[in-house]
Structure 1
Amino acid sequence: MLKKTTKGKKKDKRSLPSRITNDTVAEHREKVLAGGRKHKYPIQYSKHKLVWNTIFISIAGLVTVIVLLYLQLYVWKDTSDLAYRITKILPLPAGSVEGEFVRYSDYLLYNRGNMAVLKTQGQDQAGDKVAFQRQRAMNQAVQDAYVRKLARERGISVDDRKVDEEMDRQQKDAGLSKEAYRSAVKDMIGWSLDEARDGIRASLLRWEVSFAVDEAAANLVKEVEAQLKAGKSLTDVAAALGERVQLMPETVVPKTNKDGGLTEAAIRTADGTISGVIKPLGGDGYYFVQPRSRDDSSVTYSYLKIPLTTFKTNFDKLINGKKVTYYVHLDQPAEQKSSEQK
């Protein structure tokens, strides 16, 4: 009986900690801290795991968004308003020309305008016409990129004042209030006023660049001015310069005619007198105007035109020479396919 009790006591016997002395205090402190770490490390591990999981999920989500954007814009070639809003926020390219990116948002904006016109004509479901207008919108976006490159190289810009003046002029010429003008723009080409401002700015910049790059036309202006100063008529100058200029012997237009400033110049100039050189807004050349006669409602005048050719010639070379890189490959219109096969 005594033996059994002793045996049981042996089983319950536990080792007691050794005596703590100055020599062993560091060892005992480490044992206590080690015991505490057993409770601390699981929490620390959970925090690290949460951080890594968050990073992984964020990266996976970002990759998914990028893939979906790529599919939407470059594979499915979405032209919806959602795609436009995305490309307006994210400056994604639709191509490049001479190192300048073609803005995807520009392509979609021009395409929306073209499709709005087709819709009013009841042809927005005609496959070939839709393909043609999309290609036309892309060419316009490419041209805008080329213009931006040339403008930057020459320090040319269009400020807000010029844009506002042109928009006010268009509104006034149409005889519309601002609200009516807004509605007309929306109904005709599906643009907001801000988008119309962007379109006007691009047009004005293209106009400025077209004149700036055409040194041949500028030199021809000086030659024409010299001949006019020597007493020659517009007909004489046209005969001397041949195909380099264009002569309109006589045209009759209402005094309210909107042609970029030619009619206004004819009204301001005395009959028989030749005006100074004119750069009509949105025009494609330099003009010299000579009014012939007028009445209360109309004016008759002749004009000599020096056409701008450099910008168009250079741009056509880029397009026809396949020197534009496209990231969005559009379906070719049937007419273009047949012409290329020939």
Structure 2
Amino acid sequence: MKNLLNRKDKKQPKKLPTRITNDTVAQHREKVLAAGRKHKYPIQYTKRRLVWITMFVSVAILAIFVGLGWAQLYLWKDTSDIAYRITKILPLPVANIDGENANYSDYLLYHRSSLAVLQTQGQSDQKDKVKFYQNQSINKALEVAYAKRLARENNITVDDNKVQDLIKKQQESSKLSQSAYESVVKDNLHWSMDELKIAMKYTLLKQEVSFKIDKTADDLVSTIQNKVKSGKSLKDIADEMGNKVQPVFNLSVSTDNSDGGLTKSATLLAKGKISEPLKTLAGDGYYFVTLNSFEDNTVNYSYVKVPLTEFNNRFNYLKNNNKVKYFISIDK
């Protein structure tokens, strides 16, 4: 029994004195530090592990979202509002022309409008028309990309004021109030006014680039101006220029005709006089106009158009010589 009691006494831990004195303060300090170390290192280990787990989960979730987003756009070719918002935030490419990316958002800007029109007409299930408008939309996105590249090379910019002026001219030409004009844009193009401004900016950019780079058209304009100065009529000039120009004779329209400004310009001319080269809202070439007659509200005039061809020639050359890469499947 005595041995058992002695053994039990040996197993019991040595207790610190309850009172802290100069002799026992070191023992109490060591006890406190040991208790701190006991809880500190397991917590540090847990925090590090938690950070790694969080990082791994975050990367995995991000990879899943990226994969789904890629499939949504490049495999399923989604045109939903969510897909459109994603492409407006991220500059994702839908195609590339001679090293210049065409934005996916630009493609959806045009394609969603076309699909909405087909939906309104009850033709959204006609696959041949959907494919046609898809090709048309991606072609427009490629034209925008190529126009942006040429604009940089030629130091051409289009500011918001020019865009607003173009929209105002179109509104005035249509003789609609602002609210009515916005409704027409919404009903026919299914665009908001902000989307219309983007599209108009691209239109202006392409027009200004087309006028800038087309030296052939500039030479034809100079030739026609010289012929006008020599006293030749518009009919004679058209005959001499042949298929280099596009003539239209004896066009009778009302004074409020919407044709980009040709009718208005004709009414300001003296009968038989040929105008200087004019640019219309269409921005597709130079026009030489002559007034034939102007009675009451009817105007009869003729014009010779010098078309712009350089931009389209360059663009088609790149397409026909494998300088275009598509990142979504299209049916050519």
Taking structure 1 as the reference length, the TM-score comes to 0.87
1:26-52 per-residue CA deviation (whole Å, 9 max, x = no partner) reads: 9x9889755532221011112212222
Task: Look up the SS of the partner of 1:329 in the other structure.
Answer: coil
Equivalent residue in structure 2 for 1:9, among 6, 13, 31 = 6
> 2-side partners of 1:122 and 1:13: how far apart?
95
8 Å contact from structure 1 (residues 251, 301) kept in 2 = yes
Q: State whether structure 2 residue 155 is matched by structure 1 residue 158.
A: no
Aligned residue in 1 for 2:21: none
Deviation at 1:236, TM superposition (A): 2.7
Structure 1 pair 318–34 and aligned structure 2 pair: CA distance change class (3 A): same
Structure 2 residue runs without a partner (length 5+) = 16-25
For 2:51 and 2:315, the matched residues in 1 are separated by 53
Equivalent residues in 2 for 1:142-221 (5 A)? Answer: 142-221=142-221
**1:267-300 Cα shifts (integer Å, max 9, x gaps):** 1111111111111122321111111111121211
Give the Cα separation in 2 of the matches to 1:131 and 1:239: 41
Aligned to 2:106: 106
CA contact (8 A) 1:288 1:303 kept: yes
Would the alpha carbon gap of residues 107 and 249 (structure 1) be closer, same or farther in structure 2, given more than 3 Å must change?
same
Are residues 1:246 and 2:243 paired?
Answer: no
Rate the CA distance shift 1:175–1:262 in 2: closer, same or farther, 3 A: closer
**What TM-score does the superposition give when structure 2 sets the normalisation length?**
0.90
Choose 206-215 or 319-328, whichever is displaced more: 319-328
Deviation per CA, 1:47-73, whole angstroms, max 9, x where unpaired?
Answer: 212222221121111111100001111
Identity of aligned residues (%): 49
Q: Which residue of 1 aligns with 2:314?
A: 314
Counterparts of 1:285 and 1:119, CA distance in 2: 34
C-alpha separation in 2, matches of 1:126 and 1:16: 91
Q: CA offsets per residue over residues 241-260 of structure 1, 9 Å max, x none?
A: 32222222321121111222
Name the residue aligned to 2:51. 51
Hey, what's the Cα distance between the residues in 1 that align with 2:43 and 2:59? 25
Structure 1: gaps spanning 5 or more residues: 18-25, 337-342
Q: Is the 8 A contact 1:203 1:282 kept in 2?
A: no
Helix, strand or coil: the match of 1:13?
helix
Confirm or deny: 8 A CA contact 2:290 2:302 kept in the other structure.
yes
Q: Secondary structure at the match of 2:227?
A: helix
> Are the counterparts in 1 of residues 255 and 299 from structure 2 also a CA contact under 8 Å?
yes
What corresponds to 2:62 in structure 1? 62
Match of 1:78 in 2: 78
> What amino acid sits opposite 2:39 in the alignment?
H
The CA deviation at 1:103 is 0.9
- CA distance 1:80–1:309, shift in 2 (3 Å): same
Corresponding residue for residue 329 of structure 2: 329
> 1:301 Cα shift?
1.3
Distance 2:310 2:192 in 1: 33
8 Å Cα contact 1:204/1:282 also seen in 2: no
Q: What is the RMSD computed on CA atoms of the aligned residues?
A: 2.3
User: C-alpha separation between the residues in 1 aligned to 2:60 and 2:30?
Assistant: 43
Q: Is the 8 A contact 2:248 2:303 kept in 1?
A: yes
1:284 corresponding residue in structure 2: 284
1:166 and 1:198 map into 2 onto residues whose CA distance is 12
Identify the residue that residue 128 of structure 1 maps to in structure 2.
128
Instruction: Indicate if the aligned counterparts of 2:292 and 2:300 stay in contact, CA closer than 8 A.
Output: yes
Whole-angstrom distance in 2 between the partners of 1:285 and 1:178:
28
Q: Size of the alignment, in residue pairs? A: 322
Q: Structure 1 pair 249/173, CA: closer, same or farther in 2 (3 Å)?
A: closer
Residue aligned with 2:10, SS: coil
TM-superposed deviation, 1:226? 1.6
